[in-house]
Structure 1
Amino acid sequence: MFGRKKETNILQERQFKSPNAYVIIFFILVLVAVLTWIVPGGQYQLDKAGRAIAGTYSGSAAKPQGLWDILMAPIIGMIGNESVSGAIAISLNIMLFGSFLEMMDQSGAIKLFLKRIAIKNQKNFHALIVILVTVMGIFGTVQGSYEEGFVYLMMFLPIVLALGLDTMVAVMIVVFGTQGGCLASIVNPFATGIASSIAGISPGNGMIMRVIIFVVFMAIISYYICRYADKVKKNPQSSPQFFRRAEDLNEFPTADNEDASMTKEQKIVLGIFCATFAIMIVSLIPWSSLNSNWTFFEDLAKWIADTPVLGTVLGKDMVPLGQWFFNEINAMLIVSTIISGYVLHYKIDKTLNILIKGAAGLVSTAFIVPLARGIQVIMNGGAITPTILHFGENTLSSLPSIAFVVVCLVFYLIMASFIPSSTGLAAATMSIMAPLAVFAGVKEEIMVDIYLMALGMAKMIMPTSIIVMTCTQAAHIGYGQWVKSNWKFMIVLFSVSAAFLIAGVLI
């Protein structure tokens, strides 16, 4: 999100127009409403968690949904009803992340941090590639870095070119790095948070596996880019961009005596940024579920509550780390944003204006969630959800678990190519796919991983990916050349993803 509103005007005339998520989801909403007039109604018996029990389907009266139901569906999707939980906590979480990231952007700490890394390691391009890919991956895995990739690219291009490499290396670092992080999305609220919520599980479920996925994919991506960089360094003419190297050096010159020093305040804000995401990771891991004897955070919360003065001042209803969800994360984001403003010596009015400005910048993203959840409202209102699940139970979910996860990965790759929005894709599909996974004997968190992997890969290569189209255009790399150079690597990533999913099923 950093600098997401800056430095993009040079691309406005040529930027690829990806499908509008609102339009796509609204048409799906209307299509689902039409289906309620065609598809028979049905019902399942439910377990204590409210999930359908396989083999208990029975028919019921049809409930066709009309225009009024279509108009009301997004509203109910936001506030919820007896059958659908409201999306307001998720939407608020998205907007408050916007506030926090806007404060980081205003501070300039993140940009200077990246610049310092690039300058410090510019003589060792292998180390530089690994470090930048990892940092980009962290940005992707914790906050879904996507549109702002263009800003990072403009910082890296001069240094990469000065090392005797080409613009393809810089674009690979940004695109593969950020989207490799998104592919794992350890705690990404815009993907893992929303998808897990719809699937009815905590974002902490499957986190350990996602950490392993993150490490493995960062290593694979770094190795791939280093190999390509070695080839270009050894023989510059092997670069598909060699024909315009002189123009690239002229357009992206390295500034002499570039100042990348950080103030004391910026260093503290950078620390707040890291601490916020560290706390988020710790708070979402279900510690006592992983080990029933490890109750440190529960004991700490109880001790605080039972301590007379401390419990009264801090509050006796504190939720222990490991049991946090959107409400607790939202409170932390507000506190982190305000503390950062205080550290930067901003007046409270300016801090609050930044908080509001950042939230406003993500209102469009936040509103996708209730709109997409309206699909679930229509399906439940028309009583067709059980019927569709029953069809899936008899077809897709009847596949062996290994075949099921691979087929679902292909399905999500296709869907992600048309709906390259993490919030929109999760909200439009997860309410159906998560129950199908249960019927197939696959855990819901594995279905969330399937969604994340497919979305990450789609955003690395598809023409509907904003980061691909803006970065390749800024670096003067034809989209066809991008695909030609990297399609084999995408097959490798798909194969590794499938291997992880199969392992997840077998474990």
Structure 2
Amino acid sequence: MQAQPEKKRHRFKMPSAFTILFIIIIIIAILSWFIPAGKYSTDSSGNLIANTYHTVKSNPQGLWDVVMSPVYGMVGDKNTDGAISVSLFILVIGGFLGVVNKTKALDAGISSIVNRYKGRKKVLIPILMTLFALGGSTYGMAEETVAFYPLLIPVMMACGFDSIVAVALALVGTSVGNMASTVNPFATGVASQTLGISPGDGLVSRIIFFVIVDVIAIAFVMRYATKIQKDPTKSYVYAQREEDWKSFNIDERTNDVEPMTGRQKDVIWLFMAAFVIMIIGLVPWSSLNKHFTFFDTATTWLENIPVLGTLLGHDIAPLGTWYFSEITMLFLVMSVVVMWVYHMKEDVFIDAFMGGMADFVSVAMIVAVARGLQVVMNNGLITATILHAGETGLTHVSQSLFIILTFLFYVPMSFLIPSTSGLAAATIGIMGPLGHFAHVSGSLVITAYQAAEGWVGLVTPTSGVVMAALAISHVNLTTWWKWSLRLMLYLFIATVVFLAILAAI
């Protein structure tokens, strides 16, 4: 009897964020045929006025509206602002990162720190985790960490730790950084632009949250590292330690660290300066203190200097009033400055910049597709109806309870749409106004969204970064879940308490 060929098992594969968003757009278009249409009255600033909802004639969305929604999501239409400004910024910052990565300055910087503190072992943990957290908080560092694992694993194992500690430095570091994104353009930037507020709104509270979650994560990892340093058998991957030692060439690779060049150090300084300037430019200084007018006065003074003022140009936006156009210009200029300081050839610079932009095209486009969801809802006249349902339900809900529910809402949504910018563009337009009805600021809603997205991003199998890190380090996903369970619980409790306190203040 001839043996039957074994049937191949088709494993379920999570669809891409693009597919998920298109499915949601289609569902929303169908719902526009059944959900009553309605509108709210608005004030002079365009903000919705509570208790002014009224029904209007329905405008169900059809196939043409669905396929046109991503286009209008990018360029805008009569009912919805387009995402072109934030998409362009994403492309330009991608080009900037491409140029910086071409210099290998970030890789060399991490290598230099590892080499300098190799003899002091545990000191490396808070230093490196904070650096990775800053990367996650400022520019959404995630995929870039994959290049560091082959370097971190040998060093951490040579220090008496294990591969889990190495993974935690970068993966946990960037995840808590993303939880407390301060000026992350792909999270804070997209969400703020959706609500029409400055990315600098709520910055102080996000910095405080950053310190809290970073300290919790560092303490957790250091406690584990100390425990297995004293007793290696306590390691979650102790059974494969000898195999890993040979596989990662520990003895050879821990001594193979190239020092930073002078030009790479200059690039590191420029890299940090770019984000510092961006932060200063975005913080609404006059809103924080109406008497602080230094940047406005300085800008006016420069413009009025004969000849120099003409050379500089007119209508210069003072620091503290910047938005996406200005920070896009900043990273474009800083890319050129990096090229000049590093003595990079013009053709190499163009290739690096365009290559960096190419890496972020999908991110820029997903913002437009996600904004298309809002286009269909607005044009179908069901946005106000959904908000009205939320307004009615939130009548007796406290501010603290609302923000906690918002955080819990974003936990499954972060799993469903594993795209920071896509999730923001698709949902913040609804959650922000709901927060307004509950007397919760839009910036706090953004903080709740970011906290959930970063928290889920630490363990979700839908994240390519998580799966790549575990594959490189030979750590099983279930092993990672067991190790990170208590850390996830600590971060969850800290987040809920922090959000509740902020909402109540």
TM-score (norm 1): 0.95
Which residue in 1 is equivalent to 2:357? 359
Conserved in 2, the CA contact under 8 Å of 1:458 and 1:465? no
SS at 1:279 equivalent: helix
Query: Which residue of 62, 65, 68 corresponds with 2:61?
Result: 65
2:368 is matched with: 370
Out of 302, 310, 322, which is 1:304 matched to? 302
Provide the aligned length of Structure 1 versus Structure 2.
493
61-70 or 341-350, larger mean C-alpha shift: 341-350
Aligned to 1:199: 195
Distance 1:483 1:223, change over 3 A: same
Choose the corresponding residue for 1:393, options 391, 394, 403. Answer: 391
State the partner residue of 1:268.
266
What is the distance in 1 between the residues matched to 2:161 and 2:490? 24
After superposition, the C-alpha distances for 1:158-203 in whole angstroms (9 at most, x for unaligned) are: 1000011111111111111001111111110000000011122110
The aligned runs of 1:14-29 (5 Å cut-off) are: 18-29=14-25
Opposite residue 203 of structure 2, the aligned amino acid is M
1:445 corresponds in structure 2 to 443
- Report what 1:242 is aligned to: 238
Q: 1 CA distance for matches of 2:15 and 2:55?
A: 37
Identity %: 40
- SS for the counterpart of 2:77 is coil
Counterpart residue number, 2:433: 435
Does structure 1 residue 130 correspond to structure 2 residue 100? no
Give the secondary structure class of the aligned counterpart of 1:96: helix
Secondary structure of 1:148 counterpart: helix
| CA contact 2:154–2:254 (8 Å) conserved in 1 | no
Per-residue deviation, 1:403: 1.1
1:256 positional shift:
5.8
Are 1:149 and 2:145 matched, yes or no?
yes
Q: Indicate if the aligned counterparts of 2:158 and 2:254 stay in contact, CA closer than 8 A.
A: no
Deviation at 1:400, TM superposition (A): 1.3
Q: Which residue of 2 aligns with 1:187?
A: 183
Letter aligned with residue 439 of structure 1: F
Deviation digits for residues 16-35 of structure 1 (CA, Å, limit 9, x no counterpart): 96541100101011111011
Q: Does 1:115 align with 2:111?
A: yes
CA drift at 1:421? 0.6
Q: Give the corresponding residue for 2:158.
A: 162
Measured on the aligned residues, the alpha-carbon RMSD in Å equals: 1.4
Match of 1:5 in 2: none
Aligned mates of 2:75, 2:254 — CA distance in 1 = 55
Task: Name the amino acid aligned to 2:435.
Answer: A
Q: Deviations over 1:5-60 (max 9, x none)?
A: xxxxxxxxxx9965411001010111110111010100101122212111111111
Report how far residue 385 of structure 1 moved. 0.4
AA aligned to 2:153 is L
SS across alignment from 1:333: helix
Q: Which residue of 2 aligns with 1:341?
A: 339
Cα distance in 2 between the residues matched to 1:181 and 1:195: 17
Q: Could you tell me how far apart the structure 2 residues matched to 1:152 and 1:393 are?
A: 47
Output the CA distance in 2 between the equivalents of 1:353 and 1:461: 35
**SS of residue matched to 2:38:** strand
* Contact 1:18–1:466 (CA under 8 A) maintained in structure 2: no
Distance in 2 (CA, whole Å) between partners of 1:213 and 1:18 is 32
Is contact 1:268-1:343 (8 Å) kept?
yes
Per-residue deviation at 1:481? Answer: 1.1
Q: 1:452 aligns to what SS in structure 2?
A: helix
Q: Please list the CA deviations of residues 462-491 of structure 1 after superposition, one character each: whole Å capped at 9, or x if unmatched.
A: 221222211112111111111111112211
Which residue in the other structure is 1:78 paired with?
74
Question: Which deviates the most, 394-403 or 336-345?
Answer: 394-403
Distance, in Å, in 1 between the alignment partners of 2:14 and 2:155 is: 30
Structure 2 counterpart SS, 1:37: coil
CA contact (8 A) 1:19 1:418 kept: no
Per the alignment, residue 170 of structure 2 pairs with 174
Change (3 A) 1:454 1:397: farther
Aligned match of 1:94: 90
Cα deviation, residue 347, structure 1: 2.4
Aligned to 2:285: 287
- CA–CA separation in structure 1 for the residues paired with 2:270 and 2:486: 40
Amino acid at match of 2:326: E
Q: Which moved more, 1:362-371 or 1:145-154?
A: 145-154
State the secondary structure of the residue aligned to 2:317: coil
Partner in structure 2 of residue 328 of structure 1 = 326
How do 1:2-13 and structure 2 match up within 5 A?
none
1:222 aligns with 2:218: yes
* Whole-angstrom CA distance in 1 between matches of 2:483 and 2:257: 35
Measured against aligned partners, the alpha-carbon deviations of 1:313-356 in whole angstroms (never above 9, x if no partner) come to 01121101111111011111111111111222222232222222
* Alpha-carbon contact 2:217-2:487 (below 8 Å) kept: no
Distance, in Å, in 2 between the alignment partners of 1:239 and 1:341 is: 45
Match of 1:460, SS?
Answer: coil
**Cα distance, 1:83 vs. partner?**
2.0
Deviates more, 1:82-91 or 1:248-257: 248-257
Q: Distance in 2 between matches of 1:108 and 1:221?
A: 28
Which of 402, 419, 422 aligns to 1:421? It is 419
- Structure 2 residue runs of 5 or longer lacking an equivalent are 1-10
Amino acid at match of 1:299: T
Q: Does the aligned pair in 2 maintain the 1:109–1:270 contact within 8 Å?
A: yes
1:129 maps to amino acid: I
Matched, 1:464 2:462: yes
What is the distance in 1 between the residues matched to 2:217 and 2:142? Answer: 17
Could you tell me how far apart the structure 2 residues matched to 1:16 and 1:446 are?
36
Greater alpha carbon shift after TM alignment, 250-259 vs 102-111: 250-259
SS at match of 2:366: helix
Helix, strand or coil at the partner of 1:123: helix
**Cα drift, residue 266 of structure 1:** 1.1
Tell me: CA distance 1:397–1:484, structure 2 relative to 1, closer, same or farther (3 Å). Answer: farther
Distance 2:306 2:315 in 1: 13
Matched position secondary structure for 2:384: helix
Amino acid in structure 2 at the alignment position of 1:306: N
Aligned to 1:53: 49
Task: Tell me, in whole angstroms, the C-alpha distance in 1 between the residues paired with 2:174 and 2:257.
Answer: 26
CA contact (8 A) 2:133 2:173 kept: yes
Distance 1:144 1:400 in 2: 32
Structure-2 change in CA distance of 1:33 and 1:131 (3 Å):
same
Rounded to whole Å, the distance in 1 between the matches of 2:220 and 2:433 is 37
Contact 1:74 1:373 in 2 (8 A): yes
Matches of 2:209 and 2:12 in 1, distance apart?
31
Matched, 1:403 2:382: no
* Counterpart Cα distance in 1 of 2:474 and 2:262: 38
- Do the aligned partners of 1:185 and 1:210 also contact (CA within 8 Å) in 2? yes
Q: Distance in 2 between matches of 1:336 and 1:216?
A: 31
What CA distance in whole angstroms lies between the structure 2 residues aligned with 1:65 and 1:213? Answer: 41
CA distance in 2, matches of 1:356, 1:24: 28
1:256 and 1:127 map into 2 onto residues whose CA distance is: 17
- Alignment partner of 1:496 out of 477, 483, 494: 494
